[in-house]
Amino acid sequence: MQYEEFRKAGHNLIDYITDYLQQSQNKPLFNNVEPSFLNELFDESIPNHPQSLDAIQKILEQKLLPYCTNVNHPGYMGLITPSPNPAGILGDLLAAALNQNLGAYTIGPSATAMELRVIRWLNDLIGYDEKAGGNLTSGGMMANFIGLKLARDFTTGDVAQHEGIQGKWAVYVSEERHVSIDKSVDAIGLGRNALRALPTDDKFQLKINALEETIAKDKRDSIKPLCIIGLAGTTNLGAVDDLEALHQIAVREKCWFHVDAAYGGGMLLSEKNKNLLKGLHLADSVTIDPHKWFYAPLDCGAVLVKDHDQLTRSFGIQHAYLTDRSNNERYQFYVHGFEQSKRFRSLKVWMSFQHYGKDKIGEWVDDNVAQAMHLHNLACNSKDFESATQPMMSAICIRYKNENLSNEELTKLHRDVAARIEKEGQFWFATTELKGKTWFRINPVNINTTIETMDKLFATLQEYCGEFLILK
């Protein structure tokens, strides 16, 4: 290993990354390149002729970097992938160099201690006591999967993980759930037909009466409640279910209560909106993604569990070759979680809190909420646009309205305008469906976005939607 070459190349790469972050607003957000072009660009046999690290960086600057989505651009407001904070970026670089495997204590003693501390911080934010625990995961998909497995095991008296599912069970959630819930119900062996996707009210919160009626019907059909899932920050609109009411029903039915706050968990850092997640501490388990609204680089999700012992009951298997008999105080993540090989995810979160502080990160969250509210007001004050509902977080859905256009024509308008804006590379957002209508789904979780960004976006939407009518 040529360490001096590594040192020089590392400095060059950090300089490049610094320039990239500083100049992100001047670079295109999205390069509308065809997949066939990219596939051809990387079409080569496995290399067998060594090149210098400097030469490799030049190749990356030509082939990779121009065609990456620029999530640091202030106009990026699409899927909930944040602009990563610089301290977190450095944390991930160091984690790669140390290459600690937190599955077993002996492959990362101090890293294990740091991971446990970051998990404790997240539990403190929720309001869990010292009995709580958890795992950092790849993201909300794995966190929700673990939450549903814990639900399956707890509700069946810790039998299902040994004997499989016995009898008929159901899981209850709002129609606004994330697709990870469907996949998780499938993965724990219930089958997707066991999921009850329930209607929402005009604020896109789960209707409690619909939940009660569905549970009663299932029980008449000898189908038992396995888990009730509350949403604390829906993907489309940041809606928050009545968590206290859902908890009461779960207690009555003796089933697990899981809350998906993968996106909405960032509100726990907010000073202006800190009471929005009222009742979150009542959940048996909670999903939070620091790589969403904590602005940490991918990947870092989290499942937090009120009773740590349930993790052990659900996952506790120790093979002889992995058993560490030297010290019972050594925490073995593999005994209390799903992953055997476990990357050092907590370092970037730890460094983020250490460098910026909780309150500063909370200010970024509140700025994003204010930006969504500003766009909501612009839409409400326009005769040509409407907002689905007043945003509770930074997610907002607005749509162009015109009585002379059919629903099919309006759907085409929204998709065509979003595609045109994506192609131009100054803004990026998605379209979605809500209660039979197509909407622009806009969601800043971006440190670099400003109120002026929202003004420019709305002006662009007004112009392009108007031009669509002329072309029609």
Question: Per-residue pLDDT tens for 166-216?
Answer: 999 999 999 999 999 999 999 999 999 999 999 999 999 999 999 999 999
* Average pLDDT of the segment spanning 6-29: 94
Mean pLDDT score across all residues of the chain? 94
Provide the whole-model pTM.
Answer: 0.94
Whether 369 shows a pLDDT value over 60: the answer reads yes
Which pair of structure tokens corresponds to residue 471? 């072309």
126 and 219, same domain (yes or no): yes
Distance of alpha carbon 103 from alpha carbon 356, whole angstroms? 29
Question: Per-residue pLDDT tens for 240-269?
Answer: 999 999 999 999 999 999 999 999 999 999
Residue 76 domain-assigned?
A: no
Give the pLDDT band (50/70/90) at residue 327: low
pLDDT of residue 329: 80
Whether 321 shows a pLDDT value over 90: the answer reads no
Note down the domain range covering 55.
3-68
Whether 127 shows a pLDDT value over 80: the answer reads yes
Question: Per-residue pLDDT tens for 47-69?
Answer: 999 999 999 999 999 999 999 99
Give the pLDDT band (50/70/90) at residue 318: low
Residues whose CB is less than 8 angstroms from the CB of residue 404 and which lie 6 or more positions away in sequence, other chains included: none
- At residue 443, φ and ψ (nearest 5 deg) are -150, 90
- At residue 203, φ and ψ (nearest 5 deg) are -100, 10
109 and 13, same domain (yes or no): no
CA 400 to chain centre: 28
pLDDT of residue 142: 96
Where is the domain boundary, 302, 337, 356?
A: 356
Contact between 107 and 267 (Cβ < 8 Å): no
Residue 74 domain-assigned?
A: no
Question: Per-residue pLDDT tens for 75-115?
Answer: 999 889 999 999 999 999 999 999 999 999 999 999 999 99
> For residue 171, what are the CA distances in angstroms to 65, 165, 231, 256?
43, 14, 13, 10
423 and 314, same domain (yes or no): no
pLDDT of residue 275: 87
274 and 147, same domain (yes or no): yes
> For residue 362, what are the CA distances in angstroms to 16, 312, 403, 420, 447?
29, 33, 41, 34, 11
Any idea what the CATH number is for the domain that residue 437 is in?
A: 3.90.1150.170
Residues whose CB is less than 8 angstroms from the CB of residue 83 and which lie 6 or more positions away in sequence, other chains included: 24, 71, 72, 76, 295, 445, 446, 447, 448
Residues whose CB is less than 8 angstroms from the CB of residue 342 and which lie 6 or more positions away in sequence, other chains included: 101, 102, 103, 333, 334
Any idea what the CATH number is for the domain that residue 31 is in?
A: 1.20.1340.10
- At residue 301, φ and ψ (nearest 5 deg) are -100, 180
pLDDT of residue 320: 43
Residues whose CB is less than 8 angstroms from the CB of residue 313 and which lie 6 or more positions away in sequence, other chains included: 153, 158
> If phi over 0 gives left and psi between -120 and 50 gives alpha, with beta otherwise, what is residue 438?
beta
203 and 316, same domain (yes or no): yes
Where is the domain boundary, 339, 356, 373?
A: 356
Distance of alpha carbon 279 from alpha carbon 243, whole angstroms? 5
12 and 42, same domain (yes or no): yes
> Of 415 and 274, which is predicted with more confidence?
415
> Of 326 and 111, which is predicted with more confidence?
111
Residues whose CB is less than 8 angstroms from the CB of residue 27 and which lie 6 or more positions away in sequence, other chains included: 20, 70, 73
pLDDT of residue 325: 47
Which pair of structure tokens corresponds to residue 71? 């999530």
Any idea what the CATH number is for the domain that residue 314 is in?
A: 3.40.640.10
* Average pLDDT of the segment spanning 43-47: 95
Amino acid at 459: A
56 and 99, same domain (yes or no): no
Q: Centre a 10 Å sphere on the Cβ of residue 260 and count the other Cβ atoms it contains.
A: 32
pLDDT of residue 401: 94
Whether 324 shows a pLDDT value over 70: the answer reads no
pLDDT of residue 319: 52
321 and 215, same domain (yes or no): yes
15 and 103, same domain (yes or no): no
303 and 417, same domain (yes or no): no
Whether 337 shows a pLDDT value over 60: the answer reads yes
- pLDDT over 70, % of the chain: 97
Residue 78 domain-assigned?
A: no
- At residue 232, φ and ψ (nearest 5 deg) are -120, 70
> For residue 448, what are the CA distances in angstroms to 25, 72, 84, 174?
8, 7, 10, 32
pLDDT of residue 96: 96
320 and 383, same domain (yes or no): no
* Average pLDDT of the segment spanning 233-237: 94
Give the pLDDT band (50/70/90) at residue 471: low
Residue 87 domain-assigned?
A: no
Where is the domain boundary, 312, 335, 356?
A: 356
Residue 320 domain-assigned?
A: yes
383 and 247, same domain (yes or no): no
Question: Per-residue pLDDT tens for 128-159?
Answer: 999 999 999 999 999 999 999 999 999 999 99
- Give how many domains the chain has, as a whole number: 3
